Amino acid sequence: MFKHKDVQFEEVETKTINGKRHYITPKGNFPSITTVLSVLSRKGIAEWRARGGEAEADKIGRQACGRGTNVHLMCEQYVNNELDESKFMPDVKAMFNSIKPILKERIGEVYAQEMPMWSSYLGVAGRVDCIAEFDGKLAVIDYKTASKTKKKEWISSYFQQASAYCVMFEERTGIPIDKIVIIVAVADGEPQVFVEKRDNYILDCIDTIHQYYQEQIDINS
């Protein structure tokens, strides 16, 4: 059984503004950190879609999105001590079960799950997968799914996203977090765990946020 700490967060609405997902916060309307970081993968995705064709890319994208959403849901329910595996498809259960021992053995007290957060300093918002003790130290934990194993240099956006959540959480609660953990359930391989420090990626994240905002200025000018 996972223990949960009572940390209060204010729920906020989301709204699509100029085709981009925004969080409507007391401090203003902030773009989703996922939307902001999409500037890093835009070129690669466009090239992949061109190689495979639009129809096939759409099919693969829908399958991956559905699988990822359900693996995330299983992780959330498991850490909330309320998982019913019978409600999920075998392929989803297989991916979840590959990372289940990691969650069971390395996650301690849980501070937040699927909580909306924002940062006035960064000018972004998002909904974090999990904030909990990991190997005894408080961390932002993000769950990912993949068809094949990842190399660290391929997933800078994952680390930037998690570093942004660290800043959002500290801004909202006053509790600092320096540790970021990315847990990847791999369809055709062993699960992966990447453990990094916020300060190794937050400056890159700020640069990406500035790039996003500059693009919006250029589009609207």
DSSP 169-214: HHHHHS----EEEEEEEETTS--EEEEEEGGGTHHHHHHHHHHHHH
Residue ranges per structural domain of the chain:
14-220
DSSP structural state of residue 30: E
**Tens place of pLDDT for every residue, the chain, 221 residues?**
999 998 988 889 999 998 899 999 999 999 999 999 998 864 443 343 344 444 443 434 445 467 889 999 999 999 999 999 999 999 999 999 999 999 999 999 999 999 999 999 999 999 999 999 999 999 999 999 999 999 999 999 999 999 999 999 999 999 999 999 999 999 988 999 999 999 999 999 999 999 999 988 877 76
CATH architecture of residue range(s) 14-220 = Alpha-Beta Complex (3.90)
For the chain, give the number of residues. 221
How far is CA 74 from each of CA 32, 77, 106, 193, 206, rounded to the nearest angstrom? 23, 5, 17, 18, 31
| Distance (Å, whole) CA 216 – CA 27 | 20
End-to-end CA distance of the chain: 54
